[in-house]
Structure 1
Amino acid sequence: MSKKFFTEKEIAILSRNPYVKSVSSKGITYSEEFKQHFISEYHKGKFPREIFEESGFDVNILGIKRVESSSERWRKSYEQEGVLGLKDSRKESLGRPRVHKLSLEEKNARLEAQINLLKAENELFKKDSYGRKGVEQVKVPASQRYILIRSVIEKYNLKHMVKYLCEVSSVSRSGYYNYFSQKSVEQRKRKDEKDKVAKDLILKAFHFKGRMKGARQIKMTLAGQFQCVFNLKRIRRIMKKYNIFCPIRKANPYRRMMKATQEHRVVPNLLNRWFRQEIPGKVLLTDITYLNYQNGQRAYLSVIKDGSTGQIIAQHLSDRITMELATNTLQKLKKNRNFKKAKDALIHSDQGTHYTHPDFQKLVKQLGFRQSMSRRGNCWDNAPIESFFGHLKDEANIKTCKNLDELRREIDEYTTYYNHHRYQSNLKKMTPVQYRDHLLKAA
């Protein structure tokens, strides 16, 4: 269940949707017609977010978690019971009466046990996330939950609480008792002993010739140098268990996010390097670069450039590479009074997560642009903006800036110089603004 609560304004907006049966601050009930429509569209290959948006729902109001949970629930119900599974049967259900009514003392004891278990879990989260950058969602394995339950029971001398605490922790009671059985304990000991032997061999391969390696290199080194064949999954499991990490060539977390959400979409390359179409406002190029300045500080610059005139028409600087870096640049383009969008205008970028994100693509459509993307790993497909970044880093006094405000002023000054005073041979020896005016007069 989503933790997002609706405001009065959001309730009024949602109530106007014909697919909404009822809505309150805590939840929303959809009509059976919408559920059937959702299943039909989903089987055609559409994403849940896309179906909700086409049906008039604002996903930012609903929250993406509520959309995902609803779609998953309806799909499971449809697979099990067909169309009948989509019917709201809450009014028909009479409920199941409690066999044993709990006394006030029993309720208090259960609440106290639950609070103590939550405290233990919080302590575990703090230890697990110590030293990490950012906030990460921690998923506690079942074995760790069994240990937490037992430690809470022993610490607070609780009786007859195993079943209740297992329900609270979403683990089975039989699994709890099996985990602490003598047979299971002996099996874990034998496994740990084998893992320690394997760990020593893996570390030898990991540090072989003084160069740290990843799991695949370790596997080949073990076979080639130590005549020992290990399964790749086993190597990775032991490396994870004993915190053995290769510091080079780590997986890109943003690509992992894209695969997890399955909402990021790559669009075709409509531009095909036809940058100079001699129509101002027809071809817009965008990209993000990083700028290193004084005392090892780093900032990120998002820019939109007119491909026909070479003019920089929007830019946004930030010390964080968030989604707003790309969307704020589009908003600044919208506010630029000197910019006039041509017919069938398009905005071209690489396949970065900022540009494949649904929010960015939605804003592009709202502004009336078509969207185009470079081929994967091909910087030449967006060469003019890469050229601008090269000139910026060579000609602007970036490294002397002491803080973000100074850097912002320097970037603004250089952009003004680039647009109004920097002559370019490929623009008939004019500045970008002069060449823009020249094209407008000739049209």
Structure 2
Amino acid sequence: DEFKSRFIDEYQTGKLPRQIFEENGFNADIIGIKRIEQSAHRWKKAYEKNGLIGLKDSRKMSSGRPMKRELTAAEIIERQKARIELLEGQVNLLKKLEATERRLLNSNENLTPNKAYQLIQETIEQNGFKGMTKYFCGLLDVSRSGYYSYLKASSVREAREKLDLEAKGIILKAFNKRGYKKGSRSIKMILENEFNIVFSRKKIQRIMRKYGIVCPHRKPNPYKKIAKATMEHQVVSNKLNREFKQGIPGKVLLTDITYLPYNGKCMAYLSTVKDASTNEILAYHVSDRITLDIATKTIHKLMNNKKVKLHKDAFIHSDQGSHYTSPSYQKLLKKNGLGQSMSRRGNCWDNAPQESFFGHLKDDVDYKSATSLKELRSKIKHYMVYYNNYRYQWNLKKMTPIQYRNHLLAA
């Protein structure tokens, strides 16, 4: 009787009689397809006539002869109750199935086979569906054999997940080291240099994608002109021509100014001088005013820095901002024996390494949370020490700027 009831439920979901028999452990070849079809016809007819009670084996209660007497009112009510319960159960099953179908189909976009198998497994376990594997696999266009292989490989997946969690912990240590977020390249270099651990970049990227470890990406800002150059301001030619990596420390010096909003409505400005060959920041100045002093004070700090040894042919490369076209600034450079070069008008790529540094600084330093100019200067100072001494860079043979400078000088 239990199988008959299950047969009717599954038959109404669209399964064939032979499929239902075989999924419930019957051998169709022994029983015979004819007997299966006859049984299906007989049970369907009995169910349509008397509901769930019509499926019960009458031989348990009578001699098998058809009942000639009229049914009592209690018997009719009992049969109708049973029929209603069965219909309600079928409606709930169909509602569940419809919701499940929608969930599966909505999740089917760009779904990998493993994700599809996981979705099928979760759906079957959560809703208690039986015999729906083939239907769900067809719905998501994956193979049944692949699904069963996925179930058998659960122990392998658990072991792999355990290893991935261990790798995640190691990667997070490098990711959060010294308080600045990093990408896969920086993480790889830190693991090799400071933890003596070798992970491939692909593994690091896979773990970061899997567990949502995101390195912040710089948002492009429109090129902003600081001020219009007056007639007395003079633009010089582009002496650099994007030949940044000349392998000579202290020769090609890049400079620029960026803005740093903090404490809501306050604004500060940062001027830096960067060695294009080693990426080292040689001098910087933070001010709350964007007057000419911010550029000239940066040059004074550069010349007073005893750790910096400039090349005899050293020159400063900048954009065509009013600070760098100023006669006072150009006179200061000549006084200190520095040449000058300028990017083409409105072309930030001619000073790309300097722009890149500002982008990394704004990604890594939480300058907006500073409540005073003093606190902001402290944050910038801390980052400059980190950048020059501890931030490994892929294009510097996986060294820090100072390590690479010493490497070039030794060579």
TM-score when normalising by structure 1? 0.42
Structure with more relative contact order (C-alpha pairs < 8 Å, separation 6 or more): 2
TM-score when normalising by structure 2? 0.45
Rg larger in structure: 2
